[in-house]
Structure 1
């Protein structure tokens, strides 16, 4: 996975797949950097701002899939646990609608969600209105007689036609995210809908399922509905075979007009921030860099990174499949005749301001000034027997190239071979190659 989406053990796993952008923005400064997070963390999404880059080095702070990863939860948590609160947590919110001046209260959002769900019992109701920060949401635990399941909806704006809008409704790469089914389609009103059926934990160590629907309209409304087959997304026993809503029912809930009305009630410029421009990581791609600070150079083209990586492979290693992002990140699944091995690389410009956090006193300095740090350990997703070997480098101009290899074709499946297809010496040779220099 790319360098800004890290999952390291249980805590960072919370961040990678489904922690929200807004919670990340609130929690970012409180995280401490660790080497595994720095070298293996999540999706870069283009590195548009210095703020984004600074978030990259704090142990998975910018993470979460993906990852704008398909199926990510949009609920913008607050609270002392920095966004890792259970969906079933929090004091119940009254569900009776209230009079207001155009704003939509948390109680009204909860009321709307309950009306859109089938008949059943509701507990653990909680919501945040359109006049509260960071963003509105509603959540309930719903039981249709087959066991309780958490259901949550989050509301936000995105820039119509932007990369962020596309990311929210693009099915994730199976080499990076394990799931059962995902579809992305265009509706009659030109909205884009993604329906995702996956798991709370990518390594499936717990059988908690997470199904979701993400809708982005041409006007920039973003509605995200998520559900689980447990009363909480984490740390709650599985209470039913599947989440309570079918994909058709998820579609009905996420496309309800009431959510768009609520998004229209979100203040356009809370505290000087234009919320419509927030991306899946909770950062504002249109924000201005601090005064007297240069903006971050554009990231290297993802296709060029993939081609360069392939050109640097040993002759006995063949490429089975490939993928990546538009900028800064690419991966290859390779095979040397002994089994598949995932190899991934990030190429990031202008990382000098965080060099001291990435490279300690034990880093090697080459004659040309390039610093090199290496690590060998278990894969960050905890899959059985998976190891990750990494070489991290930074040039004197601040250009960072970090490459990792695994002894499996994906990060969340069991090991298929004893060691990665590339040795540490080969990884080092690739990372320090002058071929990366022309990539801008």
Structure 2
């Protein structure tokens, strides 16, 4: 189900890539296509029983001893039994285990003066299967100017890994419209990205979404999110802007308390290679565009999703592609009775319908080879999915899109 259709205000901010939706471009097309660009960018407001880094016991490894839980939820170093070791000075606290209630209390203590309600929290206490949940906290905060949802999530990532790199840059503005975004480096080397955007890409509601995502040099990962409503979705706007300014969001994300909690989490597992990361969608898309089109914009990354904004002299038109391996389990949903099957087993479905803004149309050619590899080409009669139509029809014809989607370049493995 598309993220924008969830009723729970604490659902995942961004799902994984388009191939995880299975439904292609049939519903909430702007959100679905955007996920191909911003895979994993925004965190869950309050993560549920997700597991951070795999199994871990209550006792966590530490140089010179073991981190053990003390009254009050603080992890300190247990001194070895030898007389020589016991004479060493006690080190400072470097990690902190937290209960559900302590996660909520920590968030409340770090916020400005105001009223709190609808508190939710998940601490670092191991579950029955000895796994450590991903710690988080969320609540509704009212500083006297309107109720607002605020949440924080704490984790660990591989320093220099994909998640860390994504956190250190602003999203593509063509796919994700926003008012402001800034990435800064703090004095300790941490990188924080503050985004001031909207809950809905197409601005169907005035709900604003602001966030600060921070990654330290050692991989501590803290995300703070806030809205100008009492919930991410389903509640009316209560104020013009969320309550915390960008500077306050940065300070909240950089608070030492979250880093101590992050240190009590297991080491992050090595990041697996993303499906399709060996693909070059942008390179192939640009190479396959029909002659006579002027490219006025393009996505910044190669991978399994790409877009280009083209102009044939009649106005801007966005063209996008998503390449998805192993989609055979979704073939029945994607290719109905009106689809075509070629002699080599490749299936083709063509869809022409409305886009997500006024008078916008979206044309799609969806293809899947017999081995399950899917190539989807879509074109709009606007420069982005989030603006009104700039022309009557897309700059590409269905025949041109079909030729692009079936080109052997997608199957070359290069």
Q: TM-score, normalised by structure 1?
A: 0.74
Give the CA deviation at 1:241.
Answer: 1.3
The match for 1:336 is 312
State the match for 2:199 in structure 1: 200
Q: Secondary structure at the match of 2:299?
A: strand
Residue 369 of structure 1: how far off its partner (Å): 3.0
Over alpha carbons, which structure has the higher Rg?
2
Higher strand share: 2
Q: Secondary structure at the match of 1:68?
A: coil
SS of residue paired to 1:219: coil
Q: Give distance in 1, aligned partners of 2:221 and 2:363.
A: 38
Q: Is the 8 A contact 1:214 1:224 kept in 2?
A: yes
Deviation (angstroms), 1:245:
0.7
Aligned match of 2:72 in 96, 99, 102?
99
CA contact (8 A) 2:168 2:183 kept: yes
Matched, 1:256 2:230: no
Match of 1:406 among 361, 373, 380: 380
- Residue 244 to residue 180, structure 1, CA distance change in 2 (3 Å): same
Task: Give me the whole-angstrom Cα distance separating, in 1, the residues matched to 2:239 and 2:351.
Answer: 41
Question: Could you report, residue by residue, the CA deviation over 1:353-409 in whole angstroms, capped at 9, with x for unpaired residues?
Answer: 554454345421223332211112223xx3222221111112344432211111111
Contact 1:386–1:407 (CA<8 Å) still a contact in 2?
yes
Contact 1:181–1:198 (8 Å) recurs in 2: yes
* The one of 293, 305, 321 aligned to 1:317: 293
Shift of 1:187: 2.1
Instruction: Say whether the 8 Å CA contact 2:22–2:333 is kept in structure 1.
Output: no
**Maintained 8 Å contact 1:43/1:67:** no
- Deviation of 1:435 (Å): 2.8
- Separation in structure 2 between the aligned mates of residue 35 and residue 227 of structure 1, nearest angstrom: 29
User: What is aligned with 1:88?
Assistant: none
Instruction: Tell me the residue number matched to 2:38.
Output: 66
Distance apart, 1:18 and its partner CA: 7.3
Does the C-alpha gap of structure 1 residues 350 and 128 become closer, same or farther in structure 2, counting only changes over 3 Å?
Answer: closer
Give the whole-Å Cα distance in 2 for the aligned partners of 1:165 and 1:417. Answer: 39
**How does 1:34-433 map onto structure 2 within 5 Å?**
36=26, 42=32, 66-69=38-41, 71-77=42-48, 99-100=72-73, 102=75, 103-131=97-125, 134-266=133-265, 268=266, 276-277=268-269, 285-286=271-272, 299-302=277-280, 305-352=281-328, 354-379=330-355, 382-433=356-407
Equivalent-residue separation in structure 1 for 2:22 and 2:144 (angstroms): 44
Unpaired runs of at least 5, structure 2: 51-69, 76-96
Assess, with a 3 A threshold, how the Cα gap between structure 1 residues 348 and 137 changes in structure 2: closer, same or farther.
Answer: same
Distance in 2, Cα, partners of 1:149 & 1:214 = 19
